[in-house]
Structure 1
């Protein structure tokens, strides 16, 4: 065998081996394209599918800068009869939804942190709840003060003069048909016993606006053997050396509230809201915001001069009007408090007749650009008990800049 024949034979063998190996080669499949950002339009704007699931998620919130002003009887560190402080808040809303054979399954969580005058107040859970169809379980505004069926309670201004504006742990069920919805709920009142507060609410809403009626049974509020109480997470601070107790009522209470909202009645892009309540006994759900400080503007304090502001009845109205990027809103409220007793361990009990209460709020807002707006507010509150407590009034307000996302 010569060299030429050897080379040709080797080449043929190599070709044969290479052909056999080529027939056995593994062919890698092309990766399937993954759509990591799919819009979910089932629940409105802002929802996206979580990759690999049928769950839709929306993440939103705002960052807010605000300057608060609270007038007399508040005193600042320099002895002036007012307070001014800046306030920054960041809020995140997480909303996850999907459809099941039992209805829409939803989880909602709201986290926020507030910094007032350089003091960080920390991150807190403002709301967190689960919904499956009409069933709701979790922590949020009490049914007494929350909006149902698209109808928000309050009187249309930012400080909307809500009666009993608190959050609770709760379980409720809502049945909805057409524009009607009916809700029954049980809420943890923080007393430690097994009996909850019970709420019921009936709402009708349509293109013209809506109407509602709401009732609450408060299992306990008036404890004459205590100098202070904490209910639904709200501390009711009594009158220091002169502990306060409400004259009327016993260890349970019942209250009713109703309202109507009319849209575009007076002019296009307008809203008119009328609302009122009557409490048969003193209850935390009839408590209203008392004197403001720069850290408590738009938050409930329930006391004026140490006396709880608990309204036996109140009625109010609010009107809001939009003019393009400019918005105006005004609201007012009038009511009467329950009788109050001041207990002095040396002199005994002094009974104070019911007091008069009225308040007014004015808002002016402007949409600077998309998702960025400013809002200014001025409010006035007056409570007159007469007697040893007397009259207390206050002017307060704020200027706000807010970026929504």
Structure 2
């Protein structure tokens, strides 16, 4: 068959054009992968989001607190007040930021949690603290967090005169077994250093602790239901004197508490009662005791005769009532009593604490609060003291 004129030239031209076009097509990028957007994760509660490309959900939240403090303490209390060269009023601002991540695995829930706190207060300036940072895997918990011993730590702000109950963040290595029916049992090894309240030496001078040899051992049995919560806890704490001749003894603490829902007084109302007893483990009974004097505001023990270590006897009881006057108005009332008996009674003391506040929340996540805190210091040695502060607080949660 005859070919049309110019056919050969047309074929050459078409081939010349086709070659670079084919080469260019092979250089084109592959079709982009579909974009995965952050989306809600409903399996772990409100506010969680899925990290794109993973099975991990995360949550970010926090709060900002601005406070103004007006003090009225007397000189015997050794707290800020209208005497001497004291700052009777100060400003205070705190920012707390939380991160929470969770992943379901074939071995159970894997969770990590962190809380960073920034505080600006005169005359100390800006102070940053890693309050919590821990990992949970199944029933295992490792890291820095609230002590497993702690049950109720108060709902008022309690910035200065915290009532007589344990409220400590420290290193823990714990295992919790869920027993069903709202029951759980926990065994925890915890940092000994964060639980030291000093040892009084000869002549009343601060004597101090020797090096830690054992962590504290904490055991807890807890229950939770529609009625509220309850917890029984025990702790062993080594008290080791710096003086080798005085040796060491094992301090201990026992405590029990319950928080009951009391809707018959108001929707969301709660009542809490907590009591503790122990020897040589003051911080398991009270976080901020005020005792006979600087250096031993509270002490776990005394060294007598240079070689005899005597543990302090301690007991405490505290209560709180939270009342919702309406959806926008809430009040909280704390009260507690602490009794510390040292060997020889010379350094015995008692603290009575009370806090009362009234909060107004005009919109969600914003709260205005007026709070009064009072502490009475009853000393066997020295003058009794009265410590007081009035606080005005604005808090924004997110």
Q: Using the TM superposition, give the Cα deviation of residue 63 of structure 1 relative to its aligned residue in structure 2, in angstroms.
A: 1.8
1:315-394 equivalence runs, <5 A? 315-322=317-324, 323-339=326-342, 351-352=345-346, 354-386=348-380, 388-394=381-387
The SS at the match of 2:353 is strand
What is the alpha-carbon distance in structure 2 between the residues aligned to residue 32 and residue 45 of structure 1?
30
Q: What is the aligned counterpart of 1:217 among 229, 232, 236?
A: 236
Q: Take 1:133 and 1:162, find their aligned partners in 2: how far apart are those partners?
A: 33
The alignment status of 1:404 with 2:380, answered yes or no, reads no
Retained in 2: the 8 A contact 1:64–1:89? yes
* Residues 269 and 75 of structure 1: CA distance in aligned 2, closer, same or farther (over 3 Å): closer
Q: Please give the per-residue CA displacement for 1:246-287, whole angstroms capped at 9, x wherever unaligned.
A: xxx962211111111111343322101111111144533223
Alignment: residue pair count: 352
Q: Distance in 2 between matches of 1:328 and 1:13?
A: 92
Distance, in Å, in 1 between the alignment partners of 2:169 and 2:336 is: 22
Q: d(CA) in 1 for partners of 2:272 and 2:256?
A: 11
2:214 alignment counterpart: 195
Partners of 2:292 and 2:17 lie apart in 1 by: 95
Which piece of structure 1 moves more, 393-402 or 76-85?
76-85
Aligned match of 2:134: 129
The Cα shift of 1:17 comes to 5.1
* Partner Cα distance (2:317, 2:62) in 1: 32
C-alpha distance in 2 between matches for 1:371 and 1:93 = 16
Whether contact under 8 Å (1:282, 1:338) holds in the other structure is no
Q: Matches of 2:348 and 2:293 in 1, distance apart?
A: 15
CA contact (8 A) 1:257 1:277 kept: yes
Equivalent residue number for residue 172 of structure 1: 174
User: 2:112 touches 2:136 (CA, 8 Å); kept in 1?
Assistant: yes
How far the C-alpha of 1:81 sits from its partner, in A, is: 6.1
Instruction: State the TM-score, normalizing by the size of structure 1.
Output: 0.78
Q: CA deviation at 1:319?
A: 0.6
Q: What's the TM-score once normalised by structure 2's chain length?
A: 0.79
Aligned match for 1:182, one of 180, 185, 205: 185
- Structure 2 unaligned segments of length 5 or more: list them: 194-209, 300-312
Deviations 1:351-389 (A, max 9, x none): 427433311110111113222212221011112123x32
C-alpha separation between the residues in 2 aligned to 1:325 and 1:286? 34
From 256, 259, 262, the equivalent of 2:257 is: 259
Task: Give the aligned partner of residue 201 of structure 2.
Answer: none
Task: Give ranges in structure 1 of 5+ residues lacking alignment.
Answer: 148-152, 227-244, 291-301, 342-350
